[in-house]
């Protein structure tokens, strides 16, 4: 059994590779945009290829060379804020990359199981009486990134219906955990704390909307769900992945500040406010639990502790990227 992970150099992709290597006897292959994107801990442990998924010929060659039995399609531009600043690159990258991948599968005449990773951002504008969100909740994407993930979701469904490719779709809710880059709330806060602790910045925290409530799940739990649903999921079906609990950004910040080694003051930063924000998002992952028995094992507090420790380590070795 060979598993191909697109975006293996990313936050979730690297955790998924670690999980598969630790818990299965599968061979693991990965795709990155550039050779330098291969995570150090995965070098010499996985077959890794550099390929631009926007290039149909490169994707065809990747698929022909690796011949995967299961594809975990995680590669995407994932920052909602980037999609507001410049929508088209996010839309083009996320849609074109997946289209090329699925078309290569068709052109090669093979039928690996394909896990298409969507997002809770597909649900977009959520009304309080619609919580928790299940897979039948309406899709009202309110960001360009959300639109790109709806397109990926529906492309996966279309290739299942039109070409009988065994595509399984997932909609993970907010990820947290070690290795996440800046541009997301937990690493943004944690990196500022870690830098303040060693004097690289004043002990002052820049924040956006602290009232928003989100369903945060550790990436290590998320990728465990990816593995389970890739094997047990029904082709053509879609599964939410989330804890079922919502936490405010204020609560997240308070947990991180309680672990800070210096006193931090808080300051609102209008640049960190989104053009569109929803008060609360909360997941109903009952379909996934019923199928696989999956439940999160990492607590909210443990995940945030690990995020902060990760950033302390990064700052210490001078790679606060």
CATH code of residue 16: 3.40.50.720
Same domain, 150 and 25: yes
Residue 224 has pLDDT above 60, yes or no: yes
Same domain, 158 and 271: no
For the segment 41-59, the average pLDDT, to the nearest whole number, is 91
The whole-chain average pLDDT of the chain stands at: 94
Residue 274 has pLDDT above 70, yes or no: no
Question: What range does the domain containing 164 cover?
Answer: 2-176+218-241
Whether 10 is covered by a domain: the verdict is: yes
For the segment 221-227, the average pLDDT, to the nearest whole number, is 98
Whether 287 is covered by a domain: the verdict is: no
User: What's 197's domain CATH number?
Assistant: 3.90.25.10
Same domain, 306 and 227: no
Same domain, 92 and 209: no
Same domain, 23 and 134: yes
CA angle 7, 180, 25 (to 5 degrees): 50
Q: pLDDT tens-digit profile of 294-314? A: 999 999 999 999 999 999 999
Same domain, 82 and 135: yes
Q: Which two tokens stand for residue 56?
A: 């149909």
Q: Contact at 8 Å (CB) between 145 and 154?
A: no
Same domain, 190 and 131: no
Same domain, 70 and 154: yes
Using only C-alpha atoms, the chain has a radius of gyration, in whole angstroms, of 19
For the segment 199-218, the average pLDDT, to the nearest whole number, is 94
Same domain, 308 and 169: no
Residue 94 has pLDDT above 70, yes or no: yes
Same domain, 82 and 190: no
**168 backbone dihedrals φ, ψ, rounded to 5°:** -120, 135
For the segment 258-264, the average pLDDT, to the nearest whole number, is 97
Cβ contacts of 50 within 8 Å, gap of 6 or more = 31, 32, 33, 34, 35, 37
Same domain, 151 and 224: yes
**Within 13 Å and on the Cβ side, how many CA atoms surround 60?**
9
Whether 321 is covered by a domain: the verdict is: no
Number of structural domains, the chain? 2
What proportion of the chain, given as a percentage, has pLDDT over 90?
A: 85
Same domain, 103 and 195: no
Residue 321 has pLDDT above 60, yes or no: no
pLDDT at 213: 96
Q: Which of the residue ranges 76-80, 160-164, 193-197, 241-245 would you say has the lowest mean pLDDT?
A: 76-80
Q: What is the pTM of this model?
A: 0.94
Residue 124 has pLDDT above 90, yes or no: yes
CA–CA separation, 129 vs 139, rounded Å? 15
């Amino acid at each position: 059994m060979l598993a191909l992970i697109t975006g293996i150099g990313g936050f979730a992709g690297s955790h998924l590779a670690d999980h598969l290597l630790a818990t299965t006897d599968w061979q693991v292959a990965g795709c990155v945009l550039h050779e330098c994107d291969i995570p150090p801990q995965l070098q010499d442990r996985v077959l890794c290829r550099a390929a631009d998924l926007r290039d149909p010929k490169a994707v065809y060659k990747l698929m022909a060379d690796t011949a995967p039995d299961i594809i975990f399609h995680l590669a995407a531009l994932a920052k909602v804020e980037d999609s507001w600043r410049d929508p088209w690159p996010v839309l083009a990258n996320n849609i074109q990359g997946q289209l090329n991948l699925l078309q290569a599968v068709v052109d090669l005449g093979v039928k690996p199981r394909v896990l298409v990773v969507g997002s809770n951002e597909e649900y977009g504008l959520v009304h309080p009486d619609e919580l928790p969100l299940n897979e039948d909740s309406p899709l009202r994407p309110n960001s360009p990134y959300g639109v790109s993930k709806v397109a990926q979701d529906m492309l996966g469904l279309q290739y299942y219906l039109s070409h009988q490719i065994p595509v399984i779709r997932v909609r993970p809710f907010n990820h947290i955990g070690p290795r996440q880059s800046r541009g997301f709330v937990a690493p943004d806060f944690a990196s500022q704390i870690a830098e303040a602790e060693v004097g690289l910045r004043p002990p002052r925290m820049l924040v956006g909307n602290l009232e928003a409530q989100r369903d945060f799940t550790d990436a290590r739990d998320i990728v465990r769900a990816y593995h389970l649903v890739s094997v047990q999921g029904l082709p053509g079906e879609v599964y939410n992945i989330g804890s079922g609990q919502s936490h405010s950004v204020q609560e997240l910040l308070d947990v991180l500040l309680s672990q800070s080694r210096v006193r931090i003051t808080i300051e609102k930063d209008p640049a960190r406010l989104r053009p569109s924000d929803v008060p609360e998002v909360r997941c109903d992952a009952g379909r996934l639990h019923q199928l696989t028995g999956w439940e999160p094992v990492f607590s909210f507090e443990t995940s945030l502790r690990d995020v902060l420790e990760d950033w302390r380590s990064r700052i210490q070795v001078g790679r606060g990227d």
